Chain A
Amino acid sequence: DIQMTQSPSSLSASVGDRVTITCRASQGIANYLAWFQQKPGKAPKSLIYAASSLQSGVPPRFSGSESGTEFTLTISNLQPEDSATYYCQQYNDFPLTFGGGTKVEIK
């Protein structure tokens, strides 16, 4: 199975800050990497697919990038509504696997 190692597990930042979350795959997954946002008690919401493509309706302050097996989700100009847990997921091969999640808190 492909392991997805996500870091940090939590972070606290201020409104307007730039936040970066990293996900490392245990083997090559091309760009078959997605990012999801989940707020407490809610279903996940899809943010990014193919490592850097925004899902429809997602604000452009969210962006994704890749470098080999390392993938990054960046939130520019952090907003209060961005307080949530973020997950990466590889869909290069079955079983699909998720990172452990990063909880983003607004100071």
Chain B
Amino acid sequence: QVQLVESGGGVVQPGRSLRLSCAASGFTFSRSGMHWVRQAPGKGLEWLAFIAYDGTNKKYAESAKGRFTISRDNSKNTLDVQMNSLTTDDTAVYYCARVKSGTYWGIDYWGQGTRVTVSS
């Protein structure tokens, strides 16, 4: 079955960096586009970034542009997001999500999320 397991969350000081990872299994990772989505405490869902199945196409939300970098390693079945210059507004649960085949960018599976707290 499809499994997406995020890791790398934790408490980080403002201005610092953090790298989140998503380990994928149960499907052919190298054929699937992937997203990162986050949810601040008590708030709704916010799409952050997309990467195509082969890594050649990347898209970012305005809030992530210039600070976050999405990447993938199809040999290891992992998806990453490098987050720099973190602020308290980046405090959230971060989810990776799989693009459903045939939907361009639609989502079918989500990971369980990893919590990031930006605090001094």
Residues of A at the B interface (CB closer than 8 Å) are 32, 34, 36, 38, 42-46, 49-50, 55, 87, 89, 91, 94-101
Once the chains bind, are B106 and A36 in contact (CB under 8 Å)?
no
Q: Could you tell me if B110 and A87 are in contact, using CB atoms closer than 8 angstroms? A: no
**Chain B 96-120: CB-based contact to A (< 8 A → 1; otherwise 0):** 0000100111111111110000000
- Is there contact, CB below 8 Å, between A91 and B113? no
Instruction: Return chain B residues, CB-CB under 8 Å to A87.
Output: 44-45
A55: B residues at CB distance < 8 A? 100, 108
Choose from B47, B104, B109, B111 the contact partner of A95 (Cβ within 8 Å).
B47
Closest to B45 in A: A98
Contact A44 B45 (CB under 8 A): yes
Pick the residue among A49, A95, A99 that contacts B103 (CB under 8 A): A49
CB distance from A100 to the nearest CB of B (A): 6
Q: Given the complex, which residues of B lie within 8 Å of A98, measured CB to CB?
A: 44-47
CB of A95 within 8 A of CB of B45, answer no
Given known pairs A46-B109, A46-B110, the reply for A95 and B61 (CB within 8 Å) is: yes
Q: Give min CB distance, B50 to chain A, whole Å.
A: 7
A32 touches B44 (CB 8 A): no
Min C-beta distance of A5 to chain B, whole Å: 12
Q: Are the C-beta atoms of A45 and B106 separated by less than 8 Å?
A: no
A50 CA to B107 CA in the complex, in Å?
11
With the chains together, A91 CA to B99 CA distance in Å? 10
* A-side contacts of B111, CB under 8 Å: 43
Besides the known contacts A43-B112, A96-B50, 20 further A-B residue pairs in the complex with CB atoms under 8 A apart: A32-B105, A43-B110, A43-B111, A44-B37, A46-B108, A49-B100, A49-B103, A49-B108, A50-B103, A89-B107, A91-B104, A91-B107, A94-B105, A95-B60, A95-B62, A96-B35, A97-B47, A98-B44, A98-B46, A101-B45
